[in-house]
Amino acid sequence: MTVEAFAPAKINLTLHVTCQRADGCHLLDSLVMFADIGDRITVEKAEETSLTVTGPMAAGVPTDASNLVLRAVSLLGAPAHITLDKHLPAAAGIGGGSSDAAATIRALTALYDLPATNMDDLLGLGADVPVCMEDSLTRMQGIGEQVTPIGGQADWPMILINPRVVVPTGPVFQALSRKDNPAMPDALPDWTDRKAAVSWLASQRNDLEMPAIVAQPVIGTVLQALRESQGCTLSRMSGSGATCFGLYADTGVRDSALKQLQRAFPNWWIVPTQAQ
């Protein structure tokens, strides 16, 4: 018996860093959506755990205990052969490893009929793992333990771009000039009113964007390319980078911009998407 699970790209539409605790952990307030592109996990019962990585982004993905997929298996104590079909770039700010771990947990829970995993165990895998257990527009706060599905869906045509550089998360947080930035407002917009919702998003931030650009200036080039693409209504970096997104009015406008960007930057990872 095998079970499959989808591991969607996690996109931080906003990311506000609101505090740094005495223990060094940063508190966040982030609006997260999940895209219709991602990795795929297949699990099969086995006497011993093993991991096979396939797919166009398989190169360089670790297959030892450092992989969050194997850490998730160890956490549940449910041995399996896992196939990770990798389509998302690693260390890209779109939750690839965390989403893979969450998908593994969902698949193993179904395969072995296990109880739900508790929050402390999920956080032990990583701050993004709890939110990656969700599948729709979600507000993530605290160190990742406050996860609130908010209903509705940010169902906009989007382009994701990763310039194929790695941005180390720790140094980006350390480079923040201010750790006590304002949180998002309590009241969120009506997501069915696209114009109002995009206007509201434009008034919010990703506080990690500037230190990430300092670490990898090409991120600024990506954002500028998105802003200048025809029909882009908003561009922003996701997570700690380097992946950035652009929002577009409709799929026709998006697809036209996609072709232009792919021609101009053939060595970048440039893909169309929208909410899953």
Co-location of 17 and 137 in the same domain: yes
Q: Indicate the residue among 119, 149, 179 that finishes a domain.
A: 149
If DSSP states are collapsed to H, E and C, what string results for 83-131? EEECCCCCCCCCCHHHHHHHHHHHHHHHHHCCCCCCHHHHHHHCCCHHH
DSSP 60: T
Do 143 and 168 lie in a common domain? no
Please name which of 275, 264, 16 lies closest in space to residue 161, comparing C-alpha atoms: 264
pLDDT the model gives residue 63: 94
Q: Does 240 lie in the same domain as 179?
A: yes
Per-residue confidence (pLDDT) for residue 28, from 0 to 100? 98
pLDDT digits (tens, 9 = 90+) for 61-115: 999 999 999 999 999 999 999 999 999 998 899 999 999 999 999 999 999 999 9
Same domain as 162, residue 101: no
Residue 136 sits in the same domain as residue 20: yes
Indicate if the pLDDT at residue 262 is higher than 90: yes
Give the pLDDT confidence score for residue 160 in this predicted structure. Answer: 98
pLDDT at 152: 72
The type of residue at 17 is V
- Beta strand 50-54 with 80-85 is parallel
Would you state the pLDDT for residue 276? Answer: 82
Strand partners, 271: 160
Are residues 217 and 145 located together in one domain of the fold? no
Q: Are residues 168 and 125 in the same domain?
A: no
126 and 101 in contact (C-beta within 8 Å)? yes
pLDDT tens profile 5-35: 999 999 999 999 999 999 999 999 999 999 9
Q: What is the pLDDT of residue 243?
A: 98
State how beta strands 244-248 and 232-237 pair: antiparallel
Cα separation of 232 and 159, whole Å? 9
- Give how many domains the chain has, as a whole number: 2
> For 163-175, what is the mean pLDDT?
92
Nearest to 48 by CA among 75, 77, 86: 77
CATH of the domain at 225: 3.30.70.890
pTM score, two decimals? 0.96
Whether 64 and 136 map to the same domain: the answer is yes
User: What percent of the chain clears pLDDT 70, i.e. is strictly above it?
Assistant: 100
Answer with the one of 96, 131, 149 that is the final residue of a domain.
149
Phi, psi of 48 (to 5 degrees): -130, 145
What pLDDT does 168 receive? 86
Best CA proximity match to 174, nearest among 215, 142, 143: 215
Q: 113 and 182: one domain?
A: no
Task: From 105, 126, 149, give the residue that closes a domain.
Answer: 149
Euclidean distance between CA atoms 272 and 3, whole angstroms: 27
What CATH number is attached to the domain comprising 89? 3.30.230.10
What is the mean predicted confidence (pLDDT) over 49-55? Answer: 98
- Residues 206, 80: one domain? no
Question: What pLDDT shows up at residue 155?
Answer: 83
Per-chain mean pLDDT for the chain: 96
Of the candidates 54, 52, 41, the residue with the CA atom closest to the CA atom of residue 8:
41
pLDDT at 147 over 80: yes
Residue 98, pLDDT score: 97
Domain that holds residue 195: 158-273
Q: Between the CA of residue 127 and those of 156, 178, 264, what are the distances in Å?
A: 26, 21, 35
Q: What is the pLDDT of residue 31?
A: 97
In terms of domains, do 144 and 192 share one?
no
pLDDT of residue 45: 97
Please identify every residue annotated as catalytic.
10, 128
Indicate whether 197 and 134 sit together in one domain.
Answer: no
